[in-house]
Structure 1
């Protein structure tokens, strides 16, 4: 480990200088020889490094999402050129170039943080050995060796011998209890960070081997760090625990504010956005408008979460605009109910004879019948020859013919039927007047 740390010796001087500057500030508050002054100096070093690594963290998020989206295409290339490894590699590189994806971007924060980690480990090891390093001279070295965090020296390790721990003015029990608690917290924070990434911020519509690999790493990484933690000094454990907590909080913020499309976190975010739009009748904030704008631009390529969001907007009577804003629209709520709303059914127009018949029946105490008839019957009535007016000769001839025959009664004229259709009429109610 000393050989690996010595490779990063070029950065030990800047790291030790930053720690000393923070120690000067905190030493004026808590005292120069206290564990709070040296412990907070290490925590401040972590915060400073992680702030500088935020641009790399953003690239890591984009690269991880692009890799998740490319998994089906990568699998297809592997199956197509499984017998030709060179062609497979060329197609993979072509796919990365076309999509602007860098597979190494997901490792950039860890790679960029590694020199600082090994430099800090080298500084704390020198303090434990009683050697000056970087800008830490003899007075600072003596102050650092006296600093304890809950009874454990900064340079003590879980596996140190009782004699070495006694040389640092501490007990082996205190060192092992403090280091064990910190190792458990470090592993738990690593596990929770990976778990919330897998459970909330992964596109569930894409089932690829990449998800299985991430799930395996969720259980393997904490065990690896737990095994390495027993050989870390207390100061390094403070550094690693702080960076894990920072990563967990940073990722939690990203999941809540900029979730992966198609994930559970995106569904929860869009539901919160829908509630805000419904309450305020507008999209508040530039970032939210950019998200709505991006969803509108997708068109038919929207996922299930985004379609549910648009359906909720439509049901509330809002329409999303290409610039990310929303407008109030009454017609949109109609479409949200399942298409165009059914128009109000207007009663069909009745003929004059039907209105007269209905009025006469109501006046006589007879209940009015429903005067709805189809268009075909109306047309047939109009096209049929009028039977209301007949010549007297015709009527007399028909009466004479019926009298002579004696078996066929005369048919009632249309005028006598009151404009009703031919055929058997509905019997009158017994209570009605004749």
Structure 2
């Protein structure tokens, strides 16, 4: 580690100068020889570096998303030219050039941060050995060696012997407890950052080897840093823990405010946006309008989360516009209400037992109705027959009287009525 740190010795002067400037500010508050003054100086150094690296972090996000989107095409190229490695490499470079993707962009923040990390390691190693370095003179060196964080000197390591720790004015137990806790926190923050990236901010509709690699790194990286952490001074552990916490918070902000399309984080974000639009009747904020604008421009290429968002807008009576705003539409409201009413009018689905019970009850009701009709008809016939037996017959007198009597018998007899035109009587009959 000392050999690697010496390669970045050219940057130790600016790193030590920044630490000393922050130490002057915090020393006026907490005291120049306290662990708070020197510890907060290192934390402030991390914050300053990470603020300067924000543009690289933005490029890292774009590159990571582009790499995720290109995984199916890259896999197709590898299968097509698996026997020709040179042609495969050429096609890969052509694909990167066409899409404007740089595979190294995802590593830029780590690569840019490495010189500062090793320079700080070099500074703290010099302090542990009692050597002046950069702008840290002898008085500052003595002040830094007296600074302790929870009983552990800034320059102490987990692997130091009891004599080395005692020379720094501390006990080996305090040093190992403090360093072990910081190493665990450093590894846990690294794991949580990678886990929330994989679980929430990855397009689940695309299954590629890239996702499997990221899952492996999620478990491997914390173990690597835990193994390296036992060789880091306490001051370097403060630096690394601070940068991990910064990365975790930065990643949480990106996931909540600018999630990857097709991920669980995007679904949660669009549901929050839908709730806000339904409550206020408008899309608030330029960034939110840009997101709605991009989704509208996709057209039929929208993913499931985006289609669900538009369906929710339509149900609430809103229509998204090309400029990212929404308008109220009475037609959409009427269609939504009509669809809801039609849906409510649909009968409830019955179980097989309920359907069989209903069929049996219907058969019983039909049988009872037929029995009642038969009884009523039988009673009617009996009544008609009794009426005919009691009524005396009147002899016919003339044609008109005979016809009248015939019509009377036809109306009372019912079944004996002759249909059609009646046959005229014979001329020889008496009138």
Tell me which interval the TM-score lies in, with the shorter structure as reference length: 0.7 to 0.9
| Cα separation, partners in 2 of 1:3 and 1:58, compared to 1, 3 Å | same
What does residue 386 of structure 1 align with? none
What secondary structure is seen at the aligned counterpart in 1 of 2:319? strand
What does residue 116 of structure 2 align with? 116
Instruction: Kindly indicate whether the alpha-carbon contact (under 8 Å) linking 1:314 and 1:335 is maintained by their aligned counterparts in 2.
Output: no
What does residue 16 of structure 1 align with? 16
Instruction: Kindly indicate whether the alpha-carbon contact (under 8 Å) linking 1:155 and 1:235 is maintained by their aligned counterparts in 2.
Output: yes
C-alpha displacement of 1:4: 1.1
What does residue 60 of structure 1 align with? 60
| Cα separation, partners in 2 of 1:101 and 1:322, compared to 1, 3 Å | same
What does residue 164 of structure 2 align with? 164
**Is 1:253 equivalent to 2:264 in the alignment?**
no
What secondary structure is seen at the aligned counterpart in 1 of 2:207? coil
What does residue 149 of structure 2 align with? 149
Rounded to whole Å, the distance in 1 between the matches of 2:142 and 2:117 is 23
What does residue 43 of structure 2 align with? 43
What does residue 103 of structure 1 align with? 103
4+ residue runs of structure 1 moved beyond 4 angstroms? 334-342
Greater radius of gyration (CA): 2
Instruction: Kindly indicate whether the alpha-carbon contact (under 8 Å) linking 1:16 and 1:135 is maintained by their aligned counterparts in 2.
Output: yes
Rounded to whole Å, the distance in 1 between the matches of 2:214 and 2:231 is 26
Rounded to whole Å, the distance in 2 between the matches of 1:338 and 1:21 is 70
Rounded to whole Å, the distance in 2 between the matches of 1:296 and 1:202 is 22
What secondary structure is seen at the aligned counterpart in 2 of 1:327? strand
Within a 5 Å distance, the mapping from 1:177-192 to structure 2 comes to 177-192=177-192
**Is 1:230 equivalent to 2:230 in the alignment?**
yes
What does residue 285 of structure 2 align with? 285
Rounded to whole Å, the distance in 2 between the matches of 1:341 and 1:175 is 71
What does residue 300 of structure 1 align with? 300
Within a 5 Å distance, the mapping from 1:23-422 to structure 2 comes to 23-335=23-335, 408-409=419-420
Rounded to whole Å, the distance in 2 between the matches of 1:410 and 1:108 is 111
Rounded to whole Å, the distance in 2 between the matches of 1:94 and 1:194 is 30
Q: Deviations over 1:17-61 (max 9, x none)?
A: 000000000000000000000000000000000000000000000
Q: CA RMSD in A?
A: 1.9
Q: Deviations over 1:398-421 (max 9, x none)?
A: x9xxx9xx954269xxxxxxxxxx
Instruction: Kindly indicate whether the alpha-carbon contact (under 8 Å) linking 1:334 and 1:340 is maintained by their aligned counterparts in 2.
Output: no
What does residue 378 of structure 2 align with? none
Instruction: Kindly indicate whether the alpha-carbon contact (under 8 Å) linking 1:63 and 1:106 is maintained by their aligned counterparts in 2.
Output: yes
Rounded to whole Å, the distance in 2 between the matches of 1:279 and 1:129 is 64
Q: Which runs of 5+ in 1 are unaligned?
A: 343-398, 412-434
Q: Which runs of 5+ in 2 are unaligned?
A: 343-402, 408-416, 423-431
Rounded to whole Å, the distance in 1 between the matches of 2:3 and 2:223 is 24
What secondary structure is seen at the aligned counterpart in 2 of 1:57? helix
C-alpha displacement of 1:339: 7.5
Instruction: Kindly indicate whether the alpha-carbon contact (under 8 Å) linking 1:334 and 1:341 is maintained by their aligned counterparts in 2.
Output: no
Q: Deviations over 1:100-156 (max 9, x none)?
A: 110000000000000000000000000000000000000000000000000000000
C-alpha displacement of 1:331: 1.7
Rounded to whole Å, the distance in 2 between the matches of 1:157 and 1:184 is 15
C-alpha displacement of 1:303: 0.2
| Cα separation, partners in 2 of 1:316 and 1:15, compared to 1, 3 Å | same
Rounded to whole Å, the distance in 1 between the matches of 2:323 and 2:180 is 54
Normalised TM-score (structure 2): 0.79
C-alpha displacement of 1:81: 0.5
Rounded to whole Å, the distance in 1 between the matches of 2:338 and 2:220 is 49
Q: Deviations over 1:139-176 (max 9, x none)?
A: 00000000000000000000000000000000000000
C-alpha displacement of 1:332: 2.1
Instruction: Kindly indicate whether the alpha-carbon contact (under 8 Å) linking 1:17 and 1:135 is maintained by their aligned counterparts in 2.
Output: yes
Rounded to whole Å, the distance in 1 between the matches of 2:159 and 2:243 is 23
Rounded to whole Å, the distance in 2 between the matches of 1:336 and 1:65 is 36
What secondary structure is seen at the aligned counterpart in 1 of 2:327? strand
What secondary structure is seen at the aligned counterpart in 1 of 2:261? coil
- The size of the alignment, in residue pairs, is 351
| Cα separation, partners in 2 of 1:87 and 1:119, compared to 1, 3 Å | same
What secondary structure is seen at the aligned counterpart in 2 of 1:261? coil
